Structure 1
Amino acid sequence: MFGSLAKNIFGSSNDRYVKSLRGVVAKINALEPELQAMSDEQLSHQTVKFREKLEGGASLDDLLPEAFATVREASVRVLGMRHFDVQMIGGIVLHRGEIAEMRTGEGKTLVATLGVYLNALPGKGIHVITVNDYLAARDAEWMGRVYRFLGMTVGVIIPDLTDQQRRDAYHSDITYGTNNEFGFDYLRDNMKYDRASMVQRPFNMALIDEVDSVLIDEARTPLIISGPTDDRSELYKNVDVIVKQLEEDDYEKDEKQKSIILTEDGTEKVERMLEAAGLLEGSNLYDFENTQVVHHVNQSLRANMMFKRDTDYIVKNDKIVIIDEFTGRMMEGRRWSEGLHQAVEAKEGVKIEPENQTLASITFQNYFRMYPKLAGMTGTAATEAAEFYDIYKMNVVTIPTNRPIRREDNDDEFYKTLNDKFIAIARAIKEHAERGQPVLVGTVSIEKSELLSEFLQREKVPHKVLNARYHEMEAHIVAQAGRLGAVTIATNMAGRGTDIQLGGNLDFRMRDEFSDLEEGTPEYAAQAEKIVAEIEEEKQRVLDAGGLFVLGTERHESRRIDNQLRGRSGRQGDPGLSRFYLSLDDDLLRIFGPDTLFARMMRSNIGDGEAIGSKWLTKAIETAQKKVEARNYDIRKQVVEYDDVMNDQRKVIYEQRSDIMDAETVGDVVIDMRHETVNGIVGGFCPPGTYPEQWDVDALKLRTLEILNVEAPVDEWIEAEDGIEPETIEERIRERADAVIEKKSADMDDSTWAQVEKSVLLQNLDHHWKEHLATLDALRSIIHLRAYAQKTPLNEYKQEAFALFERMLESIREDVTKVLAFAEFNMAPPPLPEVPDFVTSHFDPLTGEDDTNDIDAASGAFEPQPQPPFQVANPGGEELGDDPATWVGRVGRNQPCPCGSGRKYKHCHGALTNTATAL
């Protein structure tokens, strides 16, 4: 009670903080007359002046009032747009590394120019993150006019750029792009073989537009770069046929977790069918030999029973196209991983593409936490304020609107059945549209959009449908959604990027009605003036009708998505109305809603076609939403906790790679590796504190020969010296191993040998890191089983991952030593290796959701890397000759191919030889 009283008297902590910033805004406003008096040349010279002050010891905070006033004046001259005082407050919040929550239509794009310009002054670069490529290109061009006027360079990162174009964009003062492009460029940079081919420079600051979408909605899904594996399409098809024969009693599904498992009877039935199809080793599905088959059965079950066509995906041009659950957009080229996409392809009978193996991955949480300074802006962040602070240490500041909000948010209306609800919605839409009020209808899936469209057709209500099927017309449909009596059905309005203007949009009307006229001509200007007058008249009629009516056909799992939909109405002080219609058949109420008592009361107290609405019911729904939000937060937090384990290891590996690339020579590192390998070998066969008669001398001699290419007469040393210590044996073997390498390096000049060592080191590091990632993926998928032994899975994962990392480092040391000891080097420059079609993905390990983009090597997004001027011609130490047919049985399957391609023998000439033999 006292807290509420204090809040009423003194305002909330947010109100007090915003009020404290108005003093800074007053300083900015006081500078406006001085800047207005400057010429364009003087104004653009401000950037040079600010940079000189920074070199003289001034801080960015010292420059803030004058820099913000400069940007405001430049915006007035270049764009004809003057920042409001509340936008100045938003700019200060962004500069301080916080999140500015600003309502739809308050001009967040313009607010960004303030914080971006100020933080770009030191010349270290600032990244502006947008949610799609269209907005990145649009904002870079639109706001770029202000930056370029002030003498700054602007770059944009979009797909299909060459490495040089990306490098130029990253070396601009300000760089626009999507979260995926920045993240994948970081991963690709850490797969390069020399510093000059990397495109990014050290991170300085990132400003994220729609920060809740990027750091919350997409944060469950790590970014993954992967390469193709073996084709198993036939197995997917065969398993799909079997799964489609199952009945509901054969499996149990959990819609909350999006998981499904076979019952005991279902397992037995599947075993018999697999056995009949010849797909089962033995008779038990869960034998070790059938691990792959179990995986395929599980994914096929999820594809057939949990994933719905036109809700989770659509079939377009004989391909499965995923639908983004948050925006309703088609995600062209993106794929679910771990075989789920292939299972859906088998289900729908389209061509099955091969699976991929992880080469590099990172979560958005760990990617963006690498920036020394992080800021963001959105219309809806307050509901997730705790998560933003816990994960990113960012405070959410709610910025007041420039004009008071006049939108009326009505209580929800509840109906017993889906049919009753849609009948009521269709009638409400018809009623509002007939009196001229534009209606924006928000649905959660394509299926619901098309169902509602049928109801509106029965009522003879003209309308337009915006969903993944009509993706190409998106901007056009949204832009005209505010016209008199317009009815627009939209699948999730999050992140659409186009404003709904009451009365219509001038640009789109000119494009539609006068496409033959050229912009800038007198005829174009005359028609534009006429249409502007029509829009103003129509806007007034829409305002008289009550403004935009936003109608939600059901609640989303997150309150933020509901608020985003509501926020489309009532922009810049316009009147508006919003209301949600619900039924007991809605997914949220059915899966996460209040207890069955609530459902029984609803069914027994509401007649067919009747509706009830009350604040209590609306609160009950919000409680259900809070439960889902808390659950989703736990999922994201769990992803971070597990990725933090890998992230510590990733930092070590990437820093090591970076040091290796920057070093002129890595001789000391290689020597240390060789000596540690010797110590490990001797320590394994001659444990400290044991007697010589307990040592495994024969195994030690064999291992020394296999790894170090050294003959070590250990038995002779033991006979000659009574009481010889393991340390003495280590020292002698080290000397012999060093001598082998010294002899080999003497045949080359120092720079060439340094390049050899560096390349062998990098190639082995990458190979073992890739294998380590695959091992960690497998460990992550089964570690939860440790909970049955009353152990904490996360702690178990940390311990196992650390042990695996130690083992990986040991393997790297051993392999580098072995390759250098045995390899013979051909000094002719080798051909460039074949680079597979790399795939980038954004995969959710818990729900299976994944957005994957194929990167075409020819486009330059992943160019083949130049290799050092040598080839590993003889990994086994014996002369092999030039005929690959004679290598069979003499080269190990996992050894480097003697041809010098850098690939394993089994994937290179070994594969070709096996194929020829089979033929």
Structure 2
Amino acid sequence: MVSFGGLARKLFGSANDRRVRSYQPKVQAIGALEAAMQKLSDDELAGKTAEFRQMIAEGKTIDDLLVPAFAVVREASRRVLKMRPFDVQLIGGMILNDNSIAEMKTGEGKTLVATLPVYLNALAGKGVHVVTVNDYLARRDAATMGRLYGFLGLTTGVIVHGLSDEERRAAYACDITYATNNELGFDYLRDNMKYDRTQMVQRGHNYAIVDEVDSILVDEARTPLIISGPLDDRSDLYTTIDAFIPRLSPEDYEIDEKQRSANFSEAGTEKLEKMLREAGLLKGNALYDVENVAIVHHVNNALKAHKLFQRDKDYIVRNDEVVIIDEFTGRMMPGRRYSDGQHQALEAKEKVTIQPENQTLASITFQNYFRMYDKLAGMTGTAATEAEEFSNIYGLDVVEVPTNLPIKRIDDHDEVYRTAEEKYQAIITEIKAAHEKGQPVLVGTTSIEKSELLATLLKQAGFQNFQVLNARYHEQEAYIVSQAGVPGAVTIATNMAGRGTDIQLGGNLEMRLERELEGMEPGPERDAREAAVVAEVKALKEKALAAGGLYVIASERHESRRIDNQLRGRSGRQGDPGRSKFYLSLQDDLMRIFGSDRMDGMLQKLGLKEGEAIVHPWINKALERAQKKVEARNFDIRKNLLKYDDVLNDQRKVIFEQRIELMDAPSISEYVADMRHDVVNEMVVQHIPERAYAEQWDAKGLKAAVQQTLNLDLPVEEWVKEEGIAEDDIRARLAEAADKAAAEKAERFGPEVMTYVERQVVLQTLDHLWREHIVNLDHLRSVIGFRGYAQRDPLQEYKAEAFELFQSLLNNLRSAVVSQLMRVEIMRQPAEQPPLPDMEAHHIDASTGEDEFGSRDRSQFLAEEATVAPENRDPNDPSTWGRVSRNEPCPCGSGQKYKHCHGAFA
């Protein structure tokens, strides 16, 4: 029986179909201009940019120019890039221009699609940011598409790791700027720690297109981008607490794998209290007394380290370091560390050197950073499953763009086995069968451990000809991925999201040519070699097509349907044939967590024999429901994080706006004078109660406060004894004396110097108190959840207490600034801007597994590492290489140029 909704969709199409159809008139209008555009000379075509900008100056809107601008880009792309955007790509560009997310399948040309709205929106001259997931893609796309923009008279900049502030400022000043999400967020935070407006590098947030939008705005939105500085060493405390956990028994704690939480039972709490008391670490009588908040935090981290984090799944130990494994890509993330002392707890567990903890200097979530843009859009191959989140948090609709050619990939039903051993045996049998007929195979796994297990099983089965691509061996990954479509190739890989390299049937021609023509001089020999490679790739593609295209075999379902879809989407690009199948067992994490015990018993009763699989659409639906539950839980985590960060974000905006006002103002003497009067008023209110008799006034306390804060020795006690004196008279005398002292100081220093001193004192004091405030809010966040046990809403409690802490910050700011300015003396020497504090940036992009920042010194972030002499470089340790020239032989000893070897992934 067909539902009414189903019938309506058949008659009128889905909402997505109707949205796509609505762009057709504009597509036709752009097509109608094509012949006219082709008749223009290069100079005439490039001159259209100046014409469009003149129209905008005369009052036309960006949207008014969409049709002619897209027609210009289509023709310029055909001439410069030798690529003519298809009609569906024009539709993708219109979706991006409409503050929406364009979901386009792998291989459909998202990078080219972005050029259409980028050019259109850059005409306004306010800057357009194209956001990528790693430096390699930012450089590649800026270099390739920069040719197109340059032809049309627009400037292109790129922001990657290792640029100076001057280089960053110049890149942001360009019409179009390619950058990674981490660099954008880090620059924003650093800008708001500068002491002079001219030092800031960003120039506003006009329009951004986010590539791999699901990775950046969903996966990475669970944790904030944090700028931190080192704190004192507390490794002894971590080691001491770590020794307690192995002494506990299972009934002393409760583990919830779904929620990734670990808590102590009542019996466990009593045991811990005894151990902590013996170690002299417990204050008061009970663990959960307020003075033990820090200790509770440490013991909880130690419990999680032992019971929730698994070695070789969540992290590996290498070179006396705990290195995190990214849950989405299975790749190592050198330099990335868990926050809040969790990484130190893991280091104590693994008996490696415990690195000092960091204090947060500034932080922001990518959710709040990207919501600052006046106009935001995104593109990816997989966003539909997260459509609700994009709509709720960012106000972005997800629109699926039809493929240029129909998808021919066959998606088989899942095969479910009782045990992991049976599942892996079935996978190996399938790999061998596909390999024998020359079909390229991509095997997806969810972790390094499983990649290596599968590789071992393949070797034991006598199969040697395969590639393993995971966190341990990712140096040559771009080339491995590029050749995964060669007939008979078998590639085992952890999650394939955001690799940035297409798997093309027959192999990637561009990368083959780049590698095989390296070092050859132009001439007949090079031309012959190029022709041979082109012919070989063409023949290999025909062979791969005949064998059925790329076969994607997945060894497990991921928590998120989107990650599974990304893996599937590697096959069947641009109308190629392909196939995908998931092999599961009841011992898989997803099946185990979501109640496979009953299913196991049921399958045994049904007489399922060893080696047999159950295949049924119902199984797929059940698994999809389980994945939806996990996705909903993860969405709740991100939504909850955002609710709390919104509180901090409101305060962050106030502080950052205040800083900019202070830097922009020609003089802040009035602002400082208001502070001084507020401080005087607070002192009077504190020591002279309202409606109190003169003999009840605390004259002695007021005199001491005036001496301490205003640095003035005034006869306050004599004033109080005067007949008929009122509190307003006292207030006026104090304000007058303070103003007089400040004016004398200003006259002595000179107005220019005094303005500089006031500005620096206010900004530096504000920054210091803001950092303390962030730490206080972090501590408040870690304990506020317990208010729920008292039937109080933790979020409302957090809002109320965060507001009180913010008021306290403002009061302390006034007092500290006035106190410093009343004491400051100037030593005659050239004025220098105070240095920024030592900084580290912490965040990872879930698509690449790379931390562009790592745990290196970020105090100036002005240049790449210094050049190191070749004899001092260890070929096996890239951290010893320093700065390597792009055309220098790679220090790893491969014989290739650095730019074609390790430099390709830098």
* Same structural fold, with TM-score higher than 0.5 when normalized by the shorter chain: yes
In the TM superposition, what is the alpha-carbon distance from 1:742 to its structure 2 partner? 1.4
In the TM superposition, what is the alpha-carbon distance from 1:716 to its structure 2 partner? 3.2
2: distance between equivalents of 1:696 and 1:454?
82
Asked if 2 retains the 8 angstrom alpha-carbon contact of 1:416 and 1:607, the reply is: no
- Aligned residue number for residue 775 of structure 2: 774
2: distance between equivalents of 1:736 and 1:857?
44
After TM superposition, list the pairs within 5 Å mapping 1:316-331 onto structure 2: 316-331=318-333
- Aligned residue number for residue 887 of structure 1: none
- Aligned residue number for residue 762 of structure 1: 763
Which amino acid in the other structure matches residue 747 of structure 2? A
In the TM superposition, what is the alpha-carbon distance from 1:306 to its structure 2 partner? 1.6
2:501 equivalent to 1:492: no
After TM superposition, list the pairs within 5 Å mapping 1:205-604 onto structure 2: 205-271=207-273, 273-274=275-276, 285-286=287-288, 290-461=292-463, 462-510=465-513, 513=516, 515-518=518-521, 520-591=522-593, 593-594=594-595, 596-604=597-605
2: distance between equivalents of 1:269 and 1:640?
36
Query: For 1:297-331, what per-residue CA distance to the aligned partner results, in whole angstroms no more than 9, with x for missing partners?
Result: 32222222222222222233332222221122322
- Aligned residue number for residue 662 of structure 1: 664
2: distance between equivalents of 1:858 and 1:649?
25
Q: Which moved more, 1:831-840 or 1:576-585?
A: 831-840
SS at match of 1:335: coil
Query: For 1:686-744, what per-residue CA distance to the aligned partner results, in whole angstroms no more than 9, with x for missing partners?
Result: 2323333333222222212211223444443343233x432232122111111121122
Gap change, CA 1:843 and 1:92, over 3 Å in 2: closer
Asked if 1 retains the 8 angstrom alpha-carbon contact of 2:329 and 2:446, the reply is: no
Which amino acid in the other structure matches residue 13 of structure 1? A
2: distance between equivalents of 1:183 and 1:109?
22
2: distance between equivalents of 1:441 and 1:604?
32
In the TM superposition, what is the alpha-carbon distance from 1:418 to its structure 2 partner? 1.0
In the TM superposition, what is the alpha-carbon distance from 1:836 to its structure 2 partner? 4.8
* Number of equivalenced pairs: 856
Q: Which has the higher contact order (CA 8 A, sep 6+)?
A: 2
Which amino acid in the other structure matches residue 327 of structure 1? T
SS at match of 1:80: coil
Gap change, CA 1:841 and 1:858, over 3 Å in 2: closer
2: distance between equivalents of 1:698 and 1:850?
58
Asked if 2 retains the 8 angstrom alpha-carbon contact of 1:855 and 1:861, the reply is: no
After TM superposition, list the pairs within 5 Å mapping 1:175-194 onto structure 2: 175-194=177-196
- Aligned residue number for residue 892 of structure 2: none
In the TM superposition, what is the alpha-carbon distance from 1:269 to its structure 2 partner? 4.4
SS at match of 1:853: coil
In the TM superposition, what is the alpha-carbon distance from 1:411 to its structure 2 partner? 1.0
In the TM superposition, what is the alpha-carbon distance from 1:13 to its structure 2 partner? 1.1
2: distance between equivalents of 1:712 and 1:542?
92
1: distance between equivalents of 2:487 and 2:500?
22
Asked if 2 retains the 8 angstrom alpha-carbon contact of 1:327 and 1:492, the reply is: yes
Asked if 2 retains the 8 angstrom alpha-carbon contact of 1:642 and 1:794, the reply is: yes
Gap change, CA 1:599 and 1:324, over 3 Å in 2: same
2: distance between equivalents of 1:760 and 1:305?
48
Query: For 1:54-94, what per-residue CA distance to the aligned partner results, in whole angstroms no more than 9, with x for missing partners?
Result: 11211111211111111111111111111000000000111
1: distance between equivalents of 2:329 and 2:790?
41
Asked if 1 retains the 8 angstrom alpha-carbon contact of 2:324 and 2:336, the reply is: yes
- Aligned residue number for residue 150 of structure 1: 152
Query: For 1:493-522, what per-residue CA distance to the aligned partner results, in whole angstroms no more than 9, with x for missing partners?
Result: 11111000101122333455554534x433
Q: What runs of 5+ residues in structure 1 fail to find an aligned partner?
A: 864-919
Which amino acid in the other structure matches residue 226 of structure 2? I
Asked if 1 retains the 8 angstrom alpha-carbon contact of 2:103 and 2:401, the reply is: yes
1: distance between equivalents of 2:516 and 2:61?
53
After TM superposition, list the pairs within 5 Å mapping 1:58-73 onto structure 2: 58-73=60-75
SS at match of 2:299: helix
Q: Which moved more, 1:53-62 or 1:502-511?
A: 502-511
2: distance between equivalents of 1:787 and 1:42?
68
In the TM superposition, what is the alpha-carbon distance from 1:529 to its structure 2 partner? 1.3
Query: For 1:627-672, what per-residue CA distance to the aligned partner results, in whole angstroms no more than 9, with x for missing partners?
Result: 1111111111111111111111111100000000011100110011
- Aligned residue number for residue 896 of structure 2: none
2:101 to 87, 99, 120: 99
- Aligned residue number for residue 814 of structure 2: 813
Query: For 1:576-608, what per-residue CA distance to the aligned partner results, in whole angstroms no more than 9, with x for missing partners?
Result: 1111111111111112x2575334323443332
- Aligned residue number for residue 899 of structure 1: none
2: distance between equivalents of 1:852 and 1:57?
43
SS at match of 2:193: coil
Gap change, CA 1:176 and 1:824, over 3 Å in 2: same
Which amino acid in the other structure matches residue 494 of structure 2? T
Asked if 2 retains the 8 angstrom alpha-carbon contact of 1:327 and 1:496, the reply is: no
Which amino acid in the other structure matches residue 641 of structure 1? K
Gap change, CA 1:852 and 1:690, over 3 Å in 2: farther
- Aligned residue number for residue 873 of structure 2: none
2: distance between equivalents of 1:700 and 1:862?
53
2:820 equivalent to 1:823: no
Asked if 1 retains the 8 angstrom alpha-carbon contact of 2:287 and 2:296, the reply is: yes
2: distance between equivalents of 1:287 and 1:850?
38
Asked if 2 retains the 8 angstrom alpha-carbon contact of 1:335 and 1:850, the reply is: no
In the TM superposition, what is the alpha-carbon distance from 1:170 to its structure 2 partner? 0.6
Asked if 1 retains the 8 angstrom alpha-carbon contact of 2:155 and 2:176, the reply is: yes
1: distance between equivalents of 2:604 and 2:655?
60
Which amino acid in the other structure matches residue 809 of structure 1? L
1: distance between equivalents of 2:790 and 2:735?
45
In the TM superposition, what is the alpha-carbon distance from 1:622 to its structure 2 partner? 0.4
SS at match of 2:376: strand
- Aligned residue number for residue 733 of structure 2: 732
Asked if 1 retains the 8 angstrom alpha-carbon contact of 2:382 and 2:562, the reply is: yes
- Aligned residue number for residue 914 of structure 1: none
2:8 to 6, 9, 28: 6
Which amino acid in the other structure matches residue 25 of structure 1? V
Q: Which moved more, 1:624-633 or 1:53-62?
A: 53-62
In the TM superposition, what is the alpha-carbon distance from 1:537 to its structure 2 partner? 1.7
SS at match of 2:474: helix
2: distance between equivalents of 1:775 and 1:284?
22
2: distance between equivalents of 1:247 and 1:493?
40
- Aligned residue number for residue 870 of structure 1: none
Which amino acid in the other structure matches residue 94 of structure 2? I
After TM superposition, list the pairs within 5 Å mapping 1:660-699 onto structure 2: 660-699=662-701
Percent sequence identity is 58
Gap change, CA 1:598 and 1:748, over 3 Å in 2: same
- Aligned residue number for residue 910 of structure 1: none
Asked if 2 retains the 8 angstrom alpha-carbon contact of 1:331 and 1:851, the reply is: no
SS at match of 1:472: coil
2: distance between equivalents of 1:613 and 1:820?
77
1: distance between equivalents of 2:808 and 2:80?
60
Which amino acid in the other structure matches residue 782 of structure 1? V
SS at match of 2:843: strand
- Aligned residue number for residue 649 of structure 1: 651
Which amino acid in the other structure matches residue 767 of structure 1? H
Which amino acid in the other structure matches residue 762 of structure 2? L
Q: Which moved more, 1:226-235 or 1:343-352?
A: 343-352
Gap change, CA 1:537 and 1:852, over 3 Å in 2: closer
Q: What runs of 5+ residues in structure 2 fail to find an aligned partner?
A: 865-906
1:703 to 702, 705, 711: 705
Which amino acid in the other structure matches residue 566 of structure 1? R
Which amino acid in the other structure matches residue 853 of structure 1? G
Asked if 2 retains the 8 angstrom alpha-carbon contact of 1:678 and 1:733, the reply is: yes
Gap change, CA 1:532 and 1:745, over 3 Å in 2: same
After TM superposition, list the pairs within 5 Å mapping 1:185-204 onto structure 2: 185-204=187-206
1: distance between equivalents of 2:652 and 2:282?
38
**Off by >6 Å, runs of 4+ in structure 1:** 849-852
Which amino acid in the other structure matches residue 367 of structure 2? Q
SS at match of 2:106: coil
In the TM superposition, what is the alpha-carbon distance from 1:861 to its structure 2 partner? 4.3
Q: Which moved more, 1:691-700 or 1:555-564?
A: 691-700
SS at match of 1:646: helix
In the TM superposition, what is the alpha-carbon distance from 1:857 to its structure 2 partner? 4.5
- Aligned residue number for residue 611 of structure 2: 609
Which amino acid in the other structure matches residue 546 of structure 2? D
